Structure 1
């Protein structure tokens, strides 16, 4: 019989890419994680890892096994749901995570509504970067995450996760109140081609969206300042140091002399809700998703 603890270590190796990273996530030593995988290989009589450069990669047999492992995990989660089928009222602990703007604009009011409507339900919120949200779900440390679509995300068909569209968050051009474009209802982004630009830092998931929107408008922005936080970006714009594309969901400090201008074509980013496979059927998660969909309808109007 397969040792499910060892199987979980192999799933972690596949998810995190290396034995070392998997061991760190599971709070094991690298040696202990390697021993678990070797023990599983001995149980099955097949090789599960093979050398690749200085590291290792999963063998075809390991990938075949993981397809079954994901199905086993989904069935286990479904069994837990079935055991609790008599308790439809959301209760207990619900752990949610989200990218920063979603955590503040969507998850915070969601938690307040759930507290009012379901007093037996306790919500815990964690701000998390996109890939960290998937890690929290995989590790069982979150039940629901709001993530942004990026090229590095697991594919939509990944059997471990249930990813569903939540909202399209448009980018607005943010300029000082005194800027020549501030009085316009909508602009073609090409009209800002000769401006100095403030852009997200290189590893921000929003940076590709900004560069893509400018490229679609026919220019490469002259980026003179970089920022990680939208609040920092807003202050740089307010001081006349450049213009910026900012998601509509991101609140700007109300005391700053700033104007949002909508852009032709509505460049945007996509936000998703994500659970483990089948997780959306849990009463607490289902209640949270209902609240999030209602909030999303008016969040970027």
Structure 2
């Protein structure tokens, strides 16, 4: 994992920050790995450190070895009579509220010996938590900061397609029950936080597909705060269908035309770990919660 991190981040310092370790700890672990393998892994050049050809050989095998280790752990865990232990589930807040909460409730009934631990993080951080073995299952959104679905370190599976609506103040000219096309909101001020926020990439991608670049007037992330500003007429935003409307004077407007903005929620686990009884139970519960959400989408489009 350390050599993999160095290949991704370029320097020992950046790798240490990504893995929440000190640079000296990273350097020490890399020296120990090099000693065990009896090869040189790092080559200093000026103020930077680069991977040697031997290190690239190690990297080619690292993902396969890690997946085999996960599969071995899963097979050993299957020998137990009952599924037990702590299941660590991370994800973006809206997915945790709409899917993880009912999934965990179901787990408590079907697997009473499983203790869930839920962590709220943006998608990029969720992938890191999987790699550092701080989480077992992640609910993530694909985006520019996320690894591709072909990344050999993960198994990523589509879980739910979540339509997005336009959120406007009550009485707004775009508050039409029949819906609007996203391009009609091109001249509106928009409310979305740019940094550390999966929603920002979704908004900009949706607006670009509709033929415009949104003018970001205010940067907020938490849905209650965003809705409050929308209600006061400070701007508009996209709101996922699975997010319930706060008690504000706002209207959820369905979007028409093509393409209709939507979020694709995925489950992600470390490759090889899906057969572990804990992980299998968690994934099954999430799939059931997603199916129930799709069949009984209870969030009403329109005003409160």
Tell me the residue number matched to 1:262: 254
Deviation at 1:84, TM superposition (A): 2.5
TM-score, normalised to structure 1, is 0.88
How big is each residue's C-alpha offset from its partner over 1:204-235, in whole Å with a ceiling of 9 and x where there is no partner? Answer: 22212212222222222232222122221111
Q: Would you say 1:169 and 2:162 are equivalent positions?
A: yes
Tell me the residue number matched to 1:3: none
Q: What SS class does the counterpart of residue 65 from structure 2 fall into?
A: helix
Tell me the residue number matched to 2:132: 139
Q: 1:191 is matched with which residue: 184, 194, 203?
A: 184
How big is each residue's C-alpha offset from its partner over 1:136-180, in whole Å with a ceiling of 9 and x where there is no partner? Answer: 111111111111101121222222211111112222100112112
Moved more, 35-44 or 124-133: 35-44
Q: Would you say 1:99 and 2:68 are equivalent positions?
A: no
Q: Residues 186 and 61 from structure 1, CA distance in 2 versus in 1: closer, same or farther, beyond 3 angstroms?
A: farther
Q: Residues 18 and 164 from structure 1, CA distance in 2 versus in 1: closer, same or farther, beyond 3 angstroms?
A: farther
Q: Residues 58 and 230 from structure 1, CA distance in 2 versus in 1: closer, same or farther, beyond 3 angstroms?
A: farther
Unpaired segments ≥5 residues, structure 2: 298-304
Tell me the residue number matched to 1:5: none
Distance 1:196 1:95 in 2: 39
Q: 2:143 is matched with which residue: 141, 145, 150?
A: 150
How big is each residue's C-alpha offset from its partner over 1:23-71, in whole Å with a ceiling of 9 and x where there is no partner? Answer: 4566654224213323433554543223466332333431221221222
Q: 1:215 is matched with which residue: 208, 218, 222?
A: 208
Q: Residues 225 and 102 from structure 1, CA distance in 2 versus in 1: closer, same or farther, beyond 3 angstroms?
A: same
Tell me the residue number matched to 2:268: 274
Q: What SS class does the counterpart of residue 219 from structure 2 fall into?
A: strand
Task: Tell me the C-alpha RMSD between the 2 structures.
Answer: 2.3
Q: Residues 245 and 277 from structure 1, CA distance in 2 versus in 1: closer, same or farther, beyond 3 angstroms?
A: same
Moved more, 98-107 or 51-60: 51-60
Q: Residues 75 and 212 from structure 1, CA distance in 2 versus in 1: closer, same or farther, beyond 3 angstroms?
A: closer
Q: Would you say 1:61 and 2:61 are equivalent positions?
A: no
Q: What SS class does the counterpart of residue 242 from structure 1 fall into?
A: coil
Tell me the residue number matched to 2:290: 296
8 Å contact from structure 1 (residues 206, 269) kept in 2: no
Distance 2:209 2:264 in 1: 18
Distance 1:99 1:17 in 2: 28
8 Å contact from structure 1 (residues 102, 146) kept in 2: yes
Unpaired segments ≥5 residues, structure 1: 1-7
8 Å contact from structure 2 (residues 74, 277) kept in 1: no
Tell me the residue number matched to 2:300: none
